[in-house]
Amino acid sequence: MNWTEALIESGIWLIQAYSITLVVVTFCIGLLARRTVWGRQFWALAAGYFSPRRSWKPLATLALILFLTLCAVRLEVLFSNWYNTMYTALQDLDESGFWGAMLLFAILATIHVLRSLFDFYVQNAFTIRWRVWLNEKLLGNWLDKQAYYRSQYLDTPVDNPDQRIQQDITTFAEMSLSLCMGVINALVSTFAFTLILWGLSGPLSIFGVEIPRGMVFLVFAYVLIATVFAIKIGRPLILLNFLNERFNADYRYALVRLREYAESIAFYAGEKVEGAILRSRFANVINNAWAIVYRSLKFLGFNFSVSQAAVVFPFIIQAQRFFSKQISLGDLMQTAQAFGRLQDNLSFFRNAYDDFATYRATLDRLTGFTKAIGDARALPEPEVLAEGPRIALQRLTVRTPSGTPLLKDLDLEVLPGEPLLIRGPSGSGKTTLLRAIAGLWPYCEGRIIRPEHEALFLSQKPYLPLGSLREALYYPQRLPDDTSHTPADIQHQEQAALASTHRVPSNLDDLISGVQARPRLSQQSNATLSNQGQPGNHDDESVTLDGRAADMLRLVQLGHLADRLDQAADWGRILSLGEQQRLAFGRLLLARPDAVFLDEATSAMDEGLEDAMYRLVHEHLPDTILLSVGHRSTLFAHHSRQLILKGDETGTWEITETDLLR
């Protein structure tokens, strides 16, 4: 074999193979995207990323990956030829030929290693960027128009959205690329090795019938029959894999709920009930896992047997020609190697069947998720307008999802200094009216006029975000010193980066426990930030902010927490409900919104505290429009009017005047 010629041939082969593959792949993707369900699903998820109008980089990277994949195939062919050269040199006792083959191997191996590493990097960079884009797209759509909330009103609410965002996106990006390149590699390689085997194989006699180049036909027939059986045996794995993801997610969700509602469950001593639910969900996981094991035993058993039989097959068939000296040892070895490669390539579809099954389940889940987001965003929205500092409801009708009216044709205007109390029996629709005003409730007609952004809704159980008390106090505003990049966060990001470049952390346990236990923003680290005079230094701001936050805590009778402002903790669990409700009043006083809606926001306070909180609102926010929902008669004194919902399924209501206490 002339290796200089082989080099030139390889160059030509690469150009030809690249051009043909590019055309065929584009055509096939177009065809699959039109003709198959999963092709359409793939395209709906991927089209945006690959649009050249958005960026040319993804397509260019894909073209590079395709080139590297073809290089891999060509290298395999060269290695195959090298086998022939080397074994022929051995058979001929040609020492210089043997050492020449060794040198050649060193060159080929170096190219192979460099190509593999470069390919690894490019493929991983590609999937990471794709993941980032997909995550941003799905997360953005999920948060936009409050789809994460409104999706609960769909006929079939989407299950486990967290899994779909966090896990399925990764699987989708990684498997799309690996399966696509796997198929291309298998097909091109099949073509290349068929040519090699074609050149090496002789006539084959089966039951007295002589078949020219019989080996080639035999390997195709062998793999084809094996594939048909494998698909039959492996088919149930598609459903089993889908169920595996579903059952695991359900089990995880039940565990998360146990953590979330730990106290309520503990008060009820509900461990038995929770335990039964958890065990039954885990039993689903395990039963399914066993089903996967038994099915895989059959599937893998078949695959292993087929692969093992293929090892000796070419030797048995070529033995006759070798012993009669029609072919050399090199030819025999290359035949075995080419047969093996061909068998591997053709078996790709059989072996990757399992992966295809997982991939299709992922596609189904992601498609279902994007559809649910679309449906949630398409749910009817009430007409909410912003017309100055007032709240006006015009012919507003609010219904339950089943169509029963909670409120019919309500006309009402609320101005600053004229607080309104909404009352009515439990279940009459008080909270739902607030949902409608917030634009969250899809089942309503009429017009809603309210200040556009500057409205704050405080519920009975205030939401406290993860992080420090200060962050909880300012929520949903962002603090001036961006706490998502605290020194502790930056330090851990740096450590992770360091570990990825040149060394692993000396003590991994310390690092992990450090990540879990680290404070989000300590007093000390705050001071460090200020002292270092970094860009975006908020020295003055943080001093006043600190003062304001502490003063505010004292104002809402939470002075005992003033020195824990920067302590990161699960404040939703530590603070009593009454304390959380007072913290929410602090939040309200700091935010100074144009309108505030208090939904039983003082239910856990005693009457004295409730009175004090309302007085603070009247005193500090005289220009804020106030609407409250509540049952207590002590609230009458703080509201000049009352809207009373009758709760009689006809949607009747009544407005009465009360004496405002000032």
Ligand X SMILES: Nc1ncnc2c1ncn2[C@@H]1O[C@H](COP(=O)(O)OP(=O)(O)OP(=O)(O)O)[C@@H](O)[C@H]1O
Region from 171-179, 400-408, 514-522, 565-573 binding ligand X, contact rule CB under 6 A: 400-408
Task: State which of residues 2, 156, 426, 500 lies at the interface with ligand X (CB under 6 A).
Answer: 426
Q: State yes or no: cis peptide before 161, omega within 30 of 0.
A: no
Region from 90-98, 261-269, 371-379, 425-433 binding ligand X, contact rule CB under 6 A: 425-433
How far apart CA 482 and CA 601 sit, in angstroms, is 29
Task: State which of residues 234, 382, 419, 429 lies at the interface with ligand X (CB under 6 A).
Answer: 429
Residue 340 binds to ligand X (criterion: CB under 6 A)? no
The size of the interface with ligand X (CB under 6 A), counted in residues, is 12
Region from 12-20, 185-193, 204-212, 426-434 binding ligand X, contact rule CB under 6 A: 426-434
* Shortest separation between residue 585's beta carbon and ligand X, angstroms: 20
Task: State which of residues 241, 428, 468, 526 lies at the interface with ligand X (CB under 6 A).
Answer: 428
Q: Is 522 helix (H, G, I), strand (E, B) or coil?
A: coil
Whether 512 and 555 have beta carbons less than 8 Å apart is answered as no
Task: State which of residues 431, 459, 537, 603 lies at the interface with ligand X (CB under 6 A).
Answer: 431
Q: Closest by alpha carbon to 191, among 283, 273, 77, 90?
A: 77
Nearer of residues 6 and 412 to ligand X, judged by Cβ: 412
* Shortest separation between residue 647's beta carbon and ligand X, angstroms: 7
How far apart CA 212 and CA 201 sit, in angstroms, is 8
Task: State which of residues 275, 374, 427, 480 lies at the interface with ligand X (CB under 6 A).
Answer: 427
How far apart CA 115 and CA 476 sit, in angstroms, is 50
Q: What is the DSSP letter of 563?
A: G
The two three-digit tokens of residue 257, written as one number: 């709920």
Nearer of residues 244 and 642 to ligand X, judged by Cβ: 642
Nearer of residues 343 and 642 to ligand X, judged by Cβ: 642
> What's the order of all strands across the beta sheet hosting 405-414?
383-385, 444-449, 391-399, 405-414
Nearer of residues 191 and 636 to ligand X, judged by Cβ: 636
Task: State which of residues 11, 374, 401, 476 lies at the interface with ligand X (CB under 6 A).
Answer: 401
Residue 424 binds to ligand X (criterion: CB under 6 A)? yes
Q: Closest by alpha carbon to 638, among 596, 581, 604?
A: 596
Nearer of residues 421 and 549 to ligand X, judged by Cβ: 421
Long-range contacts, stretch 405-410, CB < 8 angstroms, 24+ apart: 405/649, 405/650, 405/651, 406/432, 406/433, 406/645, 406/647, 406/651, 407/433, 407/645, 407/651, 407/653, 408/650, 408/651, 408/652, 408/653, 409/446, 409/651, 410/446, 410/643, 410/653
Q: What is the 3-state secondary structure (H, E, C) of 291-322?
A: HHHHHHHHHHHHHHHHHHHHHHHHHHHHHHHH
* Shortest separation between residue 290's beta carbon and ligand X, angstroms: 38
Whether 44 and 370 have beta carbons less than 8 Å apart is answered as yes
Task: State which of residues 430, 450, 470, 639 lies at the interface with ligand X (CB under 6 A).
Answer: 430
* Shortest separation between residue 547's beta carbon and ligand X, angstroms: 38
Residue 400 binds to ligand X (criterion: CB under 6 A)? yes
* Shortest separation between residue 535's beta carbon and ligand X, angstroms: 46
Residue 506 binds to ligand X (criterion: CB under 6 A)? no
Binding residues for ligand X, rule: CB under 6 A, are: 152, 400-401, 406, 424, 426-432
